[in-house]
Chains A and B, each alone.
Chain A
């Protein structure tokens, strides 16, 4: 039979009459319909669960693992927070601590985290599509689900949805938030924590209301061109301005400036000497005053040496005017009442030396030598418009301009911005973290007309900022308030009276934390009155000798008078006391020579305190903790005793270990330490 004949016969067999055609079509439909349950049966997760059973088969821990294993679709269901996560359908071994040797996904156990895995589910931190039961749907982004799995390097953003305060386990998130505050991002972009509080900046951008008294038009222009060329550590970003824009903005800023003092300074400004010897003397005074605790200077190798509380001073001579510098050193509060810089009480000679030294730190490459031509009114007016357009007043106080509100888009929910509303620049992978990172790295790549300036940040810092921004999700705001770890209320502690006024002048709170307020550079002083002896304190205030020789940052000398030192010491000894015990040594803290001897044994042998502390300058090498050579003249015996029992209750976060020391040991070591007396201190005259 020919092929054509066969086909005809088959056609007749299948569709010969209406009954046959109906039957054939019905069978075909039935066959098609079997595909449906078959596809249902052969879903990804069934294969994965089979693989898991093969994996655990024959292991020593197989009985326990098999007992824990439950087949079928599994889910973590938390209706209060809207979580339906079926990830555990495939990630079967998440909770199996005995599977630590398994490194392959999806069977790896979850690394230990402070939360139970069923407390919040998976998606809250990892993103992805929790309800999905296929590999692709759960992990990837698609048109019906825009949140793919978050790359591991941004994972800490999950924590930030509930934890508003820094956490020890999330360095990247903390760093990102700190950078957002330090670089003033939050001054243009409103950013709210989940509890509704606005995040605030820590960058303290200077007021420009008196800028003409402080610096020149040429310096402003050079600074605007590239702030990092002046100071690598500058937090001001590069606004990528054109030369004529820079010229006009500088002209406007000088024109709007008003004098900061109504009359001339009572003392004439010193004339900086060109003599190298005088400059050298100034440099010594700069060192003795520990200016480097706050201000950094580039050394010959181009590395920054010094603190970051104040601005970098490498090229300060190119920037400031002599009159202003002298005034500033005399008392910073005259120019800027809110400055963190203390009032040093320098005398005229010291001011002259420092002015000489600082004004010698010039860099002619930076400003050039050309004087700018006088500004035309047209340029000033254009500068004003440019300043408004660029939102300079968001950060800086400028005469006649109000700080604009919501100058830049709000970023409270940037971490859940839908991809469909994002315009990706060419070459940027289409994910939210990549988009945010690209915007931070080079904002203008998204369009020349965008106003956002460029921050030159290294990749780890960009990653940290992305992490912090990804924590700003819409979900964080809708989570139940009970899940939020509330922010600690900032303390507004202010010591009162004459002592309080002195502490304000010396800006103690710029470095020390006292009763919850203050900086973190120096030790906490909340219970200082219980801790130290009055005679030592008075002497220390007058002439701070270092307790921690390994540190660059040290307490500067504020040139206080005897009377002032006594006022401060009176206040500290009275007010800064722990409520838990008395600082005065009671009768049972009188020690015998035997106590001291056994204390020495315990100090050197049982507890090996010399690993961190120095008693004997000639042989001890401990630099982690403060030197204890004269501790018996500095600290009180009850303080040492309680400190040895548990330092964390006295100063939370101290590096001192919790020793769980018995009372006899603590008493003996206290005896030994109290025996370490220095030379007798001459009592400062009281007023």
Chain B
């Protein structure tokens, strides 16, 4: 009879191809397991060891992970959407209508992107409340709280810039109102508004700027700070275990 699943996996890990890809060992000792995490570009951001009790649902409600999940869905749907979208005044709305009428699964892609974006904003807020009420922002985690605040702002900006891209009435007026709010900031307000819109009204330049912000600048910013955020969780001693724990 064939070997069990774990035996097959072990055999797979011993192959030359596997070992040429993954630098870590393949034993089951703590060292091997630690190396598997630490030697991997993506996993090394996270802690090598995690307290079992901090993985329980009630501790975090998995909110951080859900935020990350939403972000990944947004990236995964956003890239195909970029294939069908031109950030130009005559084309933008028509492209969006085409997503609905002729692109295969276009409605699904667009709606998934949209709902995930709404969900992510909610989840990020929930995440911050959870962190706040548990006191997880306290030293030594205060810098990661600041990173979290930056990520909140980036999330809101992503949501705001994406709102203009359908180029319908709702988008146009929302951005008009939003940018007018900005211009009421003393001294720099009007200048910042001009910079953001690339002009004095919401126009072709604003659409292009928002597109570049939404698809390039803000996602890169978010990725950078998410990396820092994860890395700091490890450096600050893992997920905050609660105030009654000795080794906070």
Contacts and interface: CB of A to CB of B under 8 A. Distances in A.
Nearest to A72: B102
A37 interface: yes
Interface string B77-112: 000000000000010001001101110110110000
Interface stretch (A131-139, A200-208, A239-247, A625-633): A131-139
Nearest to A43: B101
A86 interface: yes
B32 interface: no
B101 A36 contact: no
Nearest to B90: A82
A131 B108 contact: no
B171 to A, nearest CB: 11
B4 interface: no
Interface string B194-233: 0000000000000000000000000000000000000000
Given A82-B90, A84-B94, A131 B101 contact: yes
Contacts, number: 32
A36 B108 contact: yes
Nearest to B104: A40
A420 interface: yes
A133 B105 contact: no
A418 B102 CA distance: 25
Interface of B: 90, 94, 97-98, 100-102, 104-105, 107-108, 168-169
Question: Which residue, B94, B98, B102, has most C-beta atoms of chain A within 10 A?
Answer: B102
Nearest to B96: A144
6 closest residue pairs by CB, A with B: A133-B101, A36-B108, A36-B105, A131-B97, A132-B101, A40-B104
Given A144-B168, A420-B169, A131 B105 contact: no
B102 A133 contact: yes
Nearest to A145: B97
A134 B101 contact: yes
A40 B101 contact: no
A137 B96 CA distance: 14
Contacts of B168: 144
Given A131-B97, A144-B168, A420-B169, A37 B90 contact: no
Contacts of A73: 102
Given A40-B104, A73-B102, A133-B101, 7 more contacts: A36-B108, A37-B104, A37-B105, A40-B105, A131-B101, A145-B97, A418-B169
A420 B172 CA distance: 14
Contacts of B101: 86, 131-134, 137
Contact of A131 (B90, B98, B107, B169): B98
Nearest to B112: A36
A324 B108 CA distance: 79
Contacts of B105: 36-37, 40
B94 A131 contact: yes
Nearest to B105: A36
Interface string A7-43: 0000000000000000000000000000011011000
Contacts of A36: 105, 108
21 contacts: A36-B105, A37-B104, A39-B108, A40-B104, A40-B105, A73-B102, A82-B90, A84-B94, A86-B101, A131-B97, A131-B98, A131-B101, A132-B100, A132-B101, A133-B101, A137-B101, A144-B97, A144-B168, A145-B97, A418-B169, A420-B169
A98 to B, nearest CB: 30
A137 B168 CA distance: 16
A354 B104 CA distance: 82
A134 B100 CA distance: 10
Interface core residue of B100, B107, B168 (most chain A CB under 10 Å): B100
Contacts of A39: 107-108
A82 B89 CA distance: 13
Interface in A30-77: 36-37, 39-40, 73
A87 to B, nearest CB: 12
Nearest to B5: A19
A37 B100 CA distance: 14
Interface string A120-135: 0000000001011110
Given A131-B94, A144-B168, A86 B104 contact: no
A40 B90 CA distance: 27
Nearest to B168: A144
Interface string A91-121: 0000000000000000000000000000000
A418 B170 CA distance: 14
Contacts of B169: 418, 420
A295 B97 CA distance: 58
B27 to A, nearest CB: 22
A5 to B, nearest CB: 26
Nearest to A133: B101
Contacts of B97: 129, 131-132, 144-145
Contacts of B108: 36, 39
A126 to B, nearest CB: 17
A129 B96 CA distance: 13
Nearest to A146: B169
B155 to A, nearest CB: 24
Contacts of A145: 97
Contacts of A84: 94
Contacts of B104: 37, 40
A144 B99 CA distance: 14
A73 to B, nearest CB: 6
Nearest to B169: A420
B191 to A, nearest CB: 32
A337 B90 CA distance: 53
Interface in A347-386: none
Contacts of A137: 100-101
Contacts of B102: 73, 86, 131, 133
A362 B108 CA distance: 77
